[in-house]
Amino acid sequence: MMEDISLHTLDIVENSISAGATLVKIELFIDRERDEFTLTISDNGKGMDGEMVKNIRNPFFTTRTTRKVGLGVSFLDEIAELTGGKLEIASTPGKGTVVSLRLPFSHPDRPPLGDIISTLMTILMTSIDVRFVYRETRNGKEWIFDSSEIMGISDPVFLKQVKDMLYNSYKEFTGGELI
């Protein structure tokens, strides 16, 4: 099982990119007072029909030809069940997909967020022609990263500078808090 939310995020984004998405939006909403942790990932990929949406939670269902199981969504479904949360998947063929995971923030079985900056950098470095927007809201404060201004750039020195800038900016946003 994937140990943190950032790895689940990477898995879903990889699915979006495989589905032809050119825009992926990742939104994380955290509110301790209301005990809410919500992750929503939306894309403009090819979407799925109703039958595929129904089957996607089955760990033995996958559209990939390189393996016979698709565990990512079924693991998210299990996390939602363990925590009393909810996993919703909405998709329209030809328009895209929205995956939304809602969990109680304080539940002991809620996985930690993990290293979201490394996840963003992995997406950025492996999908240079895909725009992605990450928006995180914590108790009324908002942090946004939009890759539109650096799409298509693959220079390792430049990407290292971007990574350092993101880590510093995100650390300032979170106050160094790990969740």
Q: Rounded to an integer, what distance in angstroms lies between the CA atom of residue 19 and that of residue 73?
A: 15
How many helical (H) and strand (E) elements, i.e. helices and strands, does the chain have?
5, 6
What pTM was estimated for this model as a whole? 0.90
* 175: exposed, middle or buried (Cβ count in 10 Å: 0-12, 13-18, 19+): exposed
The model's pLDDT over 20-75, given as tens digits with 9 standing for 90+, comes to 999 999 999 999 999 999 999 999 999 999 888 888 877 665 555 554 334 578 88
The model's pLDDT over 73-123, given as tens digits with 9 standing for 90+, comes to 888 999 999 999 999 999 999 999 999 999 999 999 999 999 999 999 999
Rounded to 5 degrees, φ, ψ at 29 are -120, 125
Tell me if 162 sits within 8 A of 121, measured CB to CB: yes
* Average pLDDT of the residues in 116-139: 94
For residue 176, pLDDT over 90 is answered with no
Q: What is the pLDDT of residue 69?
A: 36
Q: What is the H or E stretch that residue 163 is in?
A: helix 156-174
Nearest alpha-carbon partner for 79 in 152, 1, 22: 1
Domains parsed from the chain with CATH numbers: 5-174 (3.30.565)
